[in-house]
A and B are shown apart, each in its own frame.
Chain A
Amino acid sequence: MADSYYKDKTKLQKGHFSKEFLQKIAATEPQWMHEKRLEAYALYESLPMPHTTEDDIWRRTVDMRTQDYWRRTRRFLRALDVEKYRPSLPTNGEPSAVDVPETGLPGLPYAEEASGVLVQVDGQRQHISNSEELKKKGVYFADLHTALQEQPELLRDYFMNKAVTLETTLKSGNIAQHNKFDALHGAFWQGGYLLYVPKGVSVELPLRVYINMSEADQADLSHTLIIAEEGSRVAVLEENASTTSDASGLHSGAVEIFAGQNANVTYVQVQRWNRTVWNFASHRAKIARDAQLCWVSAAFGGRLNKMNQASILEGAGSHAQMLGLAFTDARQHLDVSTAQEHISPHTTSDLMYRTVLKDRSQTAWGGNIYVYPAANHTDAYQKNDNLLLSERAHADTLPGLEIQAHEVRCTHGATAGKIDADQVFYLMSRGLSYTQAEKLIVEGFFEPVIERVPLESVREELSTSITRKLG
């Protein structure tokens, strides 16, 4: 019964984010997941859309297509009609009818060696492969719907329970008021994956995940869940991209990362949605004792981006490196809130976010370092630098500290500036055109972030994306 419903898209035309939809997919999922969805749905229904003037966390979020940054009104997000977007139908672990062409999907290089590959298009899993290495070592890597069937206990324990949860989003503070979209995600999540790395296992090659939107009016609600047990080591490269330049879409995503004691996790997300996609996301990582997380977040796409990213340093001696790189143009808006939460002593964090803005694009970055009372001997660093290539581009930057412990070292800083005329003149006096000079200066500006990225293939991909964006 349910199967025929999934295959018949015509029945899901208006008001897709409904209780009815949840009832329909309930048959394919465990009861507890259904209840979890209903709980999230109730919250989603009860919450108003975020409000620019009343919700502090949304104060700097602007839809540049319809809003005037300097004269913001209550019409905030008026152009966003959530109900217009269509969540995809869970594949329920069944292989999809659509095959991946041999040449790969546009923009997805297959040449790179990977220990596992997942390709998802419009919420549907198109391809998954696990290397012999993964199987032999007991690593579990599957789309989330399959995982729900095969690893229900793991999901029940972790899924939206410990990192991105509806409870934490209701708390006050930095992460707080972002909950409308987290609730939407909790109720209607579809797609995404679970990666589970057992204790002591070291995965040599990175895993590659391609999450795509292709059809118009798609809603992508992918959920990333990475669990790296004690002493394990793994790297994941995830790309979120549109396959067309104009198909409108909505992404409401969540990323949950658990780095167990002494684990070493690298997670890279490159976001290249097209310029019509509304992009909302909550990313949270929990880092246990002596574990290390290297987290790279690169954003190039989206119409309006609202993202929360938090590293929670739970275990003593844990370390988080947060590298951010963003390049906006046209009328794109990118609003990122980051948090470095130091809960235990001797924890270290290092955040470096660099943004280049073109045309009339605007960005806002608000970063907070929280040092909890027990977190003595914390060493935290944050830096946000912005390079404006146009007179009409605008960057807000708000670094922040909240320290409740002693013997702490926290350093932060922020800059925003136009391209340096003397640099341009110097380069042009050597024969470079203005365009070449600008390109070189932009590449140089991103270089401190890129050089810290631990994987050569990612560094190359980021450089390619930057070049493409420079036009």
Chain B
Amino acid sequence: MSNELTIKDLHISVQQKPIIKGLSLTVQPGEVHALMGPNGSGKSSLANGLMGHPLYEIDAGEVIFDGVDVLELEPNERAKLGLFLAFQYPTAIPGVSLANFLRLAVSAVRGKETNGDEKDRLIPMREFRRELREKMQQLGVDDSFARRYLNDGFSGGEKKRAEILQLAMLEPKIAILDETDSGLDIDAVRIVGDSVSRLVGPNLGVLIITHYPRLLEYIRPQFIHILLDGRIVESGGWELAEMLEAEGYDPIREKHGVKEEE
């Protein structure tokens, strides 16, 4: 119960423009939810707002996770509670190796009571390397990946795999995947999809934010929600994804009287 993510009547704006206009959703550990919506419906704003990006203004509502109102917390404190966001466009950090960064991140998230700044609070190098190598193999990424600068010069597919690798290493309770399938070819979508579905289990709840249903072929969600103009307009099961695949968003727009975004 305590590990569920509860979003209640959330309102988010960006530069004074309301984007999310009263959204409620609950994700339990072990559940996979898909939030589907056309461009401009507010999908990425929800993801960034939930993780605490300073540009996304929370106007109203609450987000309770692990019994705590996470909207009061810094992004790193949300991560330590067990929230994870796989970014649509992961930021490059030149000069910082993936392994170096990830050791700090893993140490910070696992050593919850400390700030993780001190050397002795770092997870032992051998232990970390063994774990990293294991997870990289599962994801089918080369060993050299760990030495490369974080997202710097990565191809689209590499960036997404690096995000899933981080998800696997950080072992969150709730993972939000923001358009993780965008920009990937069909093989890459399969690899990423299979990797994520391997991670799904009783201790992980997943919220997949996506435009297209194709990633969902690999990670079958139990719940599908359709986001239009900042609100969830329909919730249901797999049949909703099938309907979208067949008919697109237009019938739903018509039904709810929402115009297509320019």
Where the two chains meet, the residues of A that have a C-beta atom closer than 8 Å to any C-beta of B are 420-423, 425-436, 440-441, 443-448
Contact = CB atoms under 8 A, between A and B. Distances in A.
Nearest to B55: A421
Contact of B54 (A421, A431, A432, A440): A421
A427 B53 CA distance: 11
A431 B79 contact: yes
Interface string B151-180: 000000000000000100010000000000
A383 to B, nearest CB: 14
B104 to A, nearest CB: 6
Interface in B9-52: 51-52
Interface centre among B53, B75, B78, B108 (most CB of A within 10 A): B75
A165 to B, nearest CB: 39
Contacts of B100: 440
Contacts of B115: 433, 435-436
B85 A433 contact: no
A444 B97 CA distance: 8
A354 B84 CA distance: 34
A448 B105 contact: no
Contacts of B93: 423, 426-427, 440-441, 444
Interface size classification for chain B:
20 to 34
Contact of A426 (B91, B108, B109, B117): B91
Nearest to A447: B95
Contacts of B84: 429
B218 interface: no
Interface in B189-240: none
Nearest to B76: A428
Nearest to A421: B54
Contacts of A431: 76, 79-80, 105-106, 108-109, 116, 170
Minimum-distance CB pairs A-B, first 6 = A444-B95, A447-B95, A431-B108, A444-B96, A431-B79, A430-B105
Interface of A is mostly: helix
A429 B90 CA distance: 11
Interface of B: 51-55, 74-76, 78-80, 84-85, 87, 90-91, 93-96, 100-101, 104-106, 108-109, 115-117, 149, 166, 170
Q: Is the interface of B mostly helix, strand, loop or mixed?
A: mixed
A430 B80 contact: no
Given A425-B54, A425-B91, A427-B93, 9 more contacts: A427-B101, A430-B79, A430-B109, A432-B105, A433-B116, A434-B76, A435-B115, A443-B95, A447-B96
Contact of B75 (A429, A441, A444, A446): A429
A78 B51 CA distance: 52
B79 A440 contact: no
A436 B96 contact: no
A426 B159 CA distance: 13
19 contacts: A421-B55, A426-B90, A429-B78, A430-B101, A430-B108, A431-B76, A432-B76, A432-B105, A432-B116, A433-B76, A434-B74, A436-B104, A436-B117, A443-B96, A444-B93, A444-B149, A445-B95, A447-B149, A448-B94
A435 B117 contact: yes
B15 to A, nearest CB: 14
A428 B52 CA distance: 10
A46 B74 CA distance: 61
B157 to A, nearest CB: 19
Nearest to B87: A426
Given A425-B53, A447-B96, A432 B108 contact: yes
Contacts of A421: 54-55
Contacts of B52: 425, 428-429
Contacts of B54: 421, 425
Given A431-B79, A433-B117, A447 B94 contact: yes
A436 B116 CA distance: 9
Contacts of B166: 430
Most A CB atoms within 10 A — which of B85, B95, B104, B108?
B95
Nearest to A425: B53
A443 B150 CA distance: 13
Most buried by A among B54, B76, B105, B106: B76
B143 to A, nearest CB: 20
A434 B101 CA distance: 14
Contacts of A427: 93, 101, 105
Nearest to B53: A425
Most A CB within 10 A of own CB, among B79, B85, B91 = B91
Nearest to B112: A431
A433 B78 CA distance: 11
B53 to A, nearest CB: 5
A443 B115 CA distance: 19
Contacts of A436: 104, 108, 115-117
Contacts of A433: 76, 108, 115-117
